[in-house]
Chain A
């Protein structure tokens, strides 16, 4: 028996493209706007969400038969908040530097609607292994978009990637800046993320017309 059945593989791969949580389901936009001004933050956030969503989906899936339906949203919220706080505390004790990088994301992870969305739509109705795969898949789909947006915003807005100047020095006018090129200050403010996400959605839908909804 293969480790991943065909259904399992599609659980991971679908959210990367045709069922992407950001571009198709339009979830998690808040954090996509907030932290994609630089590539490093996008990557950190993507990894943190992979971890929390993968684990959270498993926990919810294991509890799915005993959760009272009337308070299931609250239960989900407690699970995700507890997970995030546990990770935060452990990192603070043993990986202090890393924990400081992540501190700003803690609140954004808890309120990320992709997490609640997957708990609600998938983990409550499926077994732990599939829920785990679904969590990883959706978090990766989210992460991919974050990294694409982060790449363009940091490159066009600051002329750097991962904080390393790639287009020359904007103040001393070297490299590309010698030709009169300027950083686009608009790219580093949050509305630019909406535009970049919009362009990704546009490109994705024109390549695959099946994604366009009938009106």
Chain B
């Protein structure tokens, strides 16, 4: 069997595509210029090279996930233009497989093209290759189908015959599989780009018998000052300091804030410990007098128990007018609200995950956490919720594992359970690119079936003929 038979159509070197005639027409010349520009970008060598780069990136990203969180890895490796890969990421690999010492530290690192660079390069490579190789069969001006198209009167039927003519006479079926695969791939890359750029994930914890009307973004925190609204007992007045300001630290003096606020220390992930005898807390007021915060490394986001980081902070408050220090507070996300009393007002101070209020409420009617009999292995989690939009009727839905609720572009998944089975944690995802993988994957899988199927058929035919 000749080698060329199982190759796909090779890149046209100098010969023009059938449609672009080699005549000296201006169009032909333009096409040649375009070809000469595109050719280096369309090379299969480049494809293979990019594959190698992407494998290396995926591999190092996987290793990096062991020590830094999923989100850190995502933004530092896959969803960025340039990645910085510290040599340290290879150490866990050596520890697990080659018994390297646990405490080993390797300084330094190197720059590497990030996920978006490689993705874009692949996209360019793909589009260039297809532009170069794009070809129709020689125009078949006369076919039975075209004749019929001329004969029928209904425009719909005529269109049908023309499409039929196109499919039968002008498409290179041998390459249709490849075309499907690659257009699917383009969609997939675009979809991941859209997801990376525009999707958002949040959680919605609800206790049994209570309702919630906001989402929590667990990768961001805010510092909230809440005060009862004297005009409306059902509402609160809240001023929040956003995540970015908290992280940059320093002193905040804003007209909207009731105090001058100093971010003494901010920790992305932390835990609260009891003081050892003789130790003094950095907090001078509030709930944290007998405790201290300990900084923890950011947890792996893809952890099997899907735990989020628990940020904590020491925050000092000053009177705005006099500048007197009111005290330093220990704040920690699970700790909840602490009261700050001034002669005039009472504020509730809270370091909490960033909230996004929604035009609906969700009431948790029932929550089940089933175990396999006689074990601690979870069998299922399910939440019976009542969805109550601000306008319109409420309805009841059961959300359980692998059975989410889709509503207004958001999808609610059963994600976790509050401590002591007190309620549910729903994960709420808003991803405008959610549909793209479905389309692209169908395209690619079908394309491969067609492409490899055609190969296999012709191979088997030859085999049988022997």
**Are these two chains actual partners, yes or no?**
no
